[in-house]
């Protein structure tokens, strides 16, 4: 410890000594009762620092309350992030836009502001495997959480399996409410697994419930034209798309799989440009 720091600690120790142990106890009790836990942990340090820096009363109060609000906000974001059940947590800042030039960076930045949620718009991300659909959906989900919204992430397969099971147990209404309650619902991987007629029907019910009320982010490796096959029924697929696309932004990613980035570099596989430009084609 430097001499200056050592002397600061010694002089700073004085004011804390000025507050009697009984007073510190009482203050600690008040803070616990008010659930101001961060301030409780930092009480002595805060008092010492305020005395050492001779902080004006208002500044001291601002510091204490500011730290408490920051701690509560961080805790709340961490809690809602855990509740969202993301497959991984990757902020938008970790997305390499240079690798995926078909993505309009400005459009993504606008979506990152989460205004689409206020407007009740859906975001649909289409593209072949590995181009970053899930990554972007998670990143936008994290932005929505930062903006204060409750978010839930599910794959289409998990969502449909959950609704089908609930239907069999006469608990469909309860489960539909689980998926309609979060302000933003992310449904990942539409099109990877075939959906049976009942599954398509249940999915349609959920989409209808959220229609014009709860925005969604959906990802698919299949173009809209192929959704008739995905849902095994052209009529249901049209009804689903009709509601989804009424207020929606669609991102069509055409590019190479990021998973294959290293392999492409090494020339072990051919680039996407040499194969297909339509979403849905495996590389
Ligand atoms: P998709 O859902 O389209 O199949 P993912 O989002 O799962 O693809 O991406 C596959 C992996 O590559 C993930 O680990 C993801 O974080 C990473 N990834 C994809 N695209 C990018 C990118 N442009 N920048 C950084 N990481 C990326
Ligand atoms: Mg994915």
pLDDT tens for 145-170 read 999 999 999 999 999 999 999 999 99
Q: What is the mean pLDDT of residues 46-60?
A: 94
Measured from the CB, is residue 90 less than 6 Å from ligand 1? yes
Q: What is the mean pLDDT of residues 113-133?
A: 96
Q: What is the mean pLDDT of residues 260-281?
A: 58
pLDDT at 97 over 50: yes
Q: What is the DSSP letter of 190?
A: E
Q: Is residue 252 classed as helix, strand or coil in its secondary structure?
A: strand
Bridge partner residues of 188 (DSSP): 155
257 vs 273: CA distance, rounded Å: 11
Q: For the range 96-100, what are the long-range contacts, defined as Cβ-Cβ under 8 Å and sequence gap of 24 or more?
A: 96/258, 99/255, 99/256, 99/258, 99/261, 100/131, 100/132, 100/253, 100/255, 100/258
Measured from the CB, is residue 38 less than 6 Å from ligand 1? no
Find how far residue 158's CA is from the centre of its chain: 18
Measured from the CB, is residue 261 less than 6 Å from ligand 1? no
Strands 122-126 and 216-220: parallel
Tokens matching residue 193: 């697994």
pLDDT of residue 256: 87
- Mutation choice for ligand 1 from 86, 96, 132, 221, CB with most ligand atoms inside 8 A: 132
Q: Which helix (H) or strand (E) holds 72?
A: helix 57-84
238 vs 231: CA distance, rounded Å: 10
Q: Going by C-beta distance under 8 Å and a sequence separation of 6 or more, which residues neighbour residue 265?
A: none
179 vs 204: CA distance, rounded Å: 13
Q: How far is the CA of 134 from the centre of ligand 2 (A)?
A: 4
Q: In what order do the strands lie in the sheet with 122-126?
A: 151-155, 184-190, 216-220, 122-126, 248-252
pLDDT of residue 261: 78
75 vs 34: CA distance, rounded Å: 16
pLDDT at 1 over 60: no
Q: Which helix (H) or strand (E) holds 50?
A: helix 37-52
pLDDT of residue 246: 93
Tokens matching residue 78: 């961490």
Tokens matching residue 231: 């849902």
Domains parsed from the chain with CATH numbers: 3-82 (no CATH), 85-274 (3.40.50.300)
Name the average pLDDT for the chain.
89
**Atom 25, ligand 1: residue with shortest CA distance:** 95
* Sign of the alpha-carbon torsion through 131, 132, 134, 140: negative
Closest ligand to Cα 187: 2
Closest ligand to Cα 188: 2
pLDDT at 10 over 90: no
Q: What is the DSSP letter of 225?
A: G
């Amino acid at each position: 410890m430097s001499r200056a720091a050592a002397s600061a600690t010694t002089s700073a120790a004085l004011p804390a000594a000025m507050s009697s142990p009984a007073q510190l106890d009482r203050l600690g009790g008040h803070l616990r009762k008010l659930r101001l836990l961060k301030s409780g942990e930092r009480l002595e340090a805060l008092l010492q620092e305020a005395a050492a820096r001779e902080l004006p009363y208002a500044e001291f109060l601002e510091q204490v309350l500011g730290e408490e609000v920051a701690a509560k906000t961080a805790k709340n974001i961490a809690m809602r992030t855990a509740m969202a059940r993301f497959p991984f947590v990757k902020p938008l800042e970790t997305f390499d836009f240079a690798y995926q030039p078909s993505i309009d960076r400005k459009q993504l930045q606008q979506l990152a502001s989460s205004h689409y949620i206020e407007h009740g718009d859906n975001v649909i991300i289409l593209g072949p495997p590995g181009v970053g659909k899930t990554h972007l959906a998670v990143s936008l989900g994290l932005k929505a959480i930062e903006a204060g919204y409750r978010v839930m992430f599910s794959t289409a397969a998990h969502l449909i399996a959950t609704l089908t099971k609930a239907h069999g147990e006469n608990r469909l209404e309860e489960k539909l409410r689980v998926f309609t309650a979060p302000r933003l619902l992310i449904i990942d991987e539409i099109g990877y697994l075939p959906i049976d007629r009942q599954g398509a029907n249940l999915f349609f019910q959920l989409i209808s419930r959220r229609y014009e009320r709860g925005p969604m982010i959906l990802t698919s490796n299949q173009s809209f034209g192929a959704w008739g096959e995905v849902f095994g029924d052209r009529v249901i697929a049209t009804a689903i798309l009709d509601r989804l696309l009424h207020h929606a932004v669609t991102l069509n990613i055409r590019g190479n799989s990021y998973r294959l980035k290293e392999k492409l570099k090494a020339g072990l596989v051919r680039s996407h440009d040499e194969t297909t430009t339509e979403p849905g084609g495996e590389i």
